Chains A and B, each alone.
Chain A
Amino acid sequence: MAATEHYRHWKADLQLCVALGLSHLRYGPPLHLTCPARDRYDWSFVDLVMAEMKEIHLTPIVDLCHFGVPSWLENFQNPELPGALTAYAEAFARRYPWVRFYTPVNEMYVCAKMSALDGVWNEQMRDEKAFAAAAFNLARASIAMTEAILAVRPDAIFVNSESSEFCQPCCPDPEIQRIAQFENERRFLPLDLIYGHSVSEGMRRHLRDHGIKDTDFDGLMAREVPRRSIIGVDYYEWNERLIDSDGRARSLGELFGWYVIASQYYDRYKRPMMHTETNRMDASDGPRWLWRQWHNLQLLRSTGVPLVGFTWYSLTDQVDWEIALGKAIGNVDPVGLFDLNRDIRSVGLTYKRLIDMHMDQPGYGTCPALEKIMAQ
């Protein structure tokens, strides 16, 4: 956010949302700046942003933990993480009681994988045991944060965003089939934990073998899941992978598409859904990609799945996003609705066109699926 100069242009950035006709904004307050030490908060920046959002009637979906933690909290292996994030979530909910939409922890699977299995973020480990610990810690944090927010705001709505993933085996080799099957179950693990969905005996054994106690697992499974929970399913062109003959995953591009992958998530959890992130690295192809995603969404909606939103990531171009912010190189990734000078891109205009086209259509300007959740 610093590299995109959001801290400097935050007010103008919010105005860009209004100019596009957006009603809701997925917004991640900077956790590392707001919570610089245990139980110490600096709300100076967030106060300004929240007040402005309230003023201009832009409803925030507050993303409390997005891939990183403040230095004092170290990383996702830290057993103190759930407690610390819960205190932050409670403090946030108390300070901004008018906020109703929350994403306690964004993309838990990706966060655990990149931090503990791929060695890129935070703890930078490459270890199955570390992955299991991170996934459990993140799920515990998400659950405890949810409960803390509900204690302050009992009608809060939770958008649990997760990256949609799918692995296709390349061939009938039993080992390749096993890897694909395992990865296709592992992708669900954090959501399984927060939604109390049972896992296969194989996954249970895997978790046991990698340090997760049965009592801890059973404790999460026994939990009552909040009624107002929405599954956010993010989708990028690299989310579908082929497990190649060497056992390695290679990006397939858009093979089955968001409709098929998102359906798998819906079939598993049977909860309202939202397309919570997508974009295209090639700016000139953004409009095509956006419409194709939209048509996927329409198809899923037509099958009766309650869908509440469609998000483009992100408002502005990103910096070093292509390399997952693994290094601070300074490369601009033209994925935004606006460039870093805040000039609109073609995809931004397309998104506005989409909004204008549907705003007055029945079932879009006001969303029946969302109204049903809000009325629960």
Chain B
Amino acid sequence: MSGFLSAHGYEPGPTQRPFLAGAISGTLATAPAVALLYVLGSLAIEARILGLPIAGTIIAGWLLMAVAGAAYARLLGRAANDPRGGWLFGMAFGFALWAAGGVFILPLAGDGQLPTGPAATGVFLSLVLWGGALGGVLPFIHRLLHRRLDDVEIAVNLGSTAAAPGIPRP
């Protein structure tokens, strides 16, 4: 995957809006994840661990996932725009988020309490589902948000002075 990312380049394209596209995609992808958390009973347990009402837990989760979506779009750059492979990158990101959040941060935030049994499975599956949905939907959201070529400001490093590496004379 690192080879894939480096081949595409770590920088997003000049016409892309990765943060906005990622935040919107992350928000959209949260809907099926919340549904899964609810069905498997994880939502209520998470709310109890965090000491929040269920509605508050959903709102906090939604905000967090919007930020996570923006981070995903920026980190994966052009690779995140691939309509065929995006879902797989997204699932990998969701898995990493589960490892970081569900396994590492949640126990700290919850004072050692953790979801167990089906609720724990729900947390894991919801994050992988969220990642898959995020990766699947982002390439299409990203295209809707493309800036037109004529609207893109040409940065100094793309102009004719780009030919000059600017080596100082000793």
Contacts from A to B (Cβ < 8 Å): 19-20, 283-284, 287-288, 290-292, 294-295, 317, 331-334, 339-341, 343-346, 349-350, 352-353, 357
B152 and A339 within 8 A (CB): no
Given the known inter-chain contacts A295-B163, A332-B4, A333-B7, please indicate yes or no for A343 contacting B81, CB distance below 8 A.
Answer: yes
**What 3 A-B pairs are tightest by C-beta distance, nearest first?**
A291-B163, A343-B13, A287-B162
Interface residues on B, range: 20 to 34
CB neighbors of A among B2-53 (8 A): 3-4, 7-9, 11, 13-16
Q: Which of B61-69, B95-103, B119-127, B153-161 contacts A (4 or more CB under 8 A)?
A: B153-161
CB <8 Å contact, A345 and B9: yes
Partner of B78, one of A292, A343, A350: A343
A288 in contact with B163 (CB, 8 Å)? yes
Instruction: Decide yes or no whether B165 CB sits under 8 A from chain A.
Output: yes
Determine if A284 and B8 form an interchain contact, defined as CB atoms under 8 angstroms apart: no
Give the interface of B toward A (CB within 8 A). 3-4, 7-9, 11, 13-16, 78, 81-83, 139, 146, 149, 152, 154, 157-163, 165
Task: Please name all residues of chain A whose beta carbon is closer than 8 Å to the beta carbon of B154 when the two chains form the complex.
Answer: 349-350, 353
Say yes or no: A331 contacts B7, CB within 8 Å. Answer: yes
Q: Which of B8, B149, B163 contacts A344 (CB 8 A)?
A: B149
Q: Which residue of A lies closest to B163 (CB)?
A: A291
> Measured between alpha carbons, how far is A353 from B152 in the docked complex, in Å?
10
If the complex has contacts A291-B163, A353-B159, are A334 and B7 also in contact, measured as CB distance less than 8 A? yes
Neighbouring B residues of A283 by C-beta, 8 Å: 9
Residues of A with C-beta under 8 A to B9: 283-284, 334, 339, 345
Chain B residues whose CB sits within 8 angstroms of the CB of A333 once the complex forms: 7
A349 and B152 contact, Cβ closer than 8 Å, known pairs A331-B7, A341-B78? yes
- Contact status A19-B7, CB under 8 Å: no
Contacts of A332 in B (CB 8 A): 4, 7-8
* Chain B residue contacts of A352, Cβ below 8 A: 149
Complex-state Cα separation, A19 to B148, whole angstroms? 9
| B residues less than 8 Å from A343 (CB atoms) | 13, 15-16, 78, 81, 146
Q: How far is the CB of A48 from chain B (nearest CB, A)?
A: 23
Cα-based distance from A291 to B163 in the complex (angstroms): 5
A242 to chain B, nearest CB (A): 22
Verify A339–B13 contact, CB threshold 8 A: yes
Q: List 12 A-B contacts (CB under 8 A).
A: A19-B149, A20-B149, A284-B9, A290-B162, A331-B7, A341-B81, A341-B139, A343-B81, A343-B146, A346-B13, A346-B14, A357-B160
**Interchain CB contact under 8 A, B82 and A341:** yes
**Most B Cβ at <10 Å: residue of A290, A341, A349, A350:** A341
| CB nearest to A341 among chain B residues | B81
Give the CA-CA distance A284 to B154 in the complex, in Å: 15
User: Which residue of A19, A20, A346 is within 8 Å of B158 (Cβ)?
Assistant: A346
Which of A294, A339, A340, A353: most chain B CB closer than 10 A? A339
Question: For residue B154, which residue of chain A has the nearest CB?
Answer: A353
Chain A residues with CB under 8 Å of B14's CB are 344-346, 349
- Cβ-defined partner of B165 (8 Å) among A284, A288, A290, A340: A288
| Chain A residue contacts of B13, Cβ below 8 A | 339, 343-346
Known: A332-B8, A341-B82. 19 other contacts (CB 8 A): A284-B11, A287-B162, A290-B162, A291-B160, A291-B162, A294-B163, A295-B163, A334-B7, A339-B81, A341-B78, A343-B15, A344-B13, A344-B14, A344-B15, A346-B157, A349-B14, A349-B154, A350-B154, A357-B160
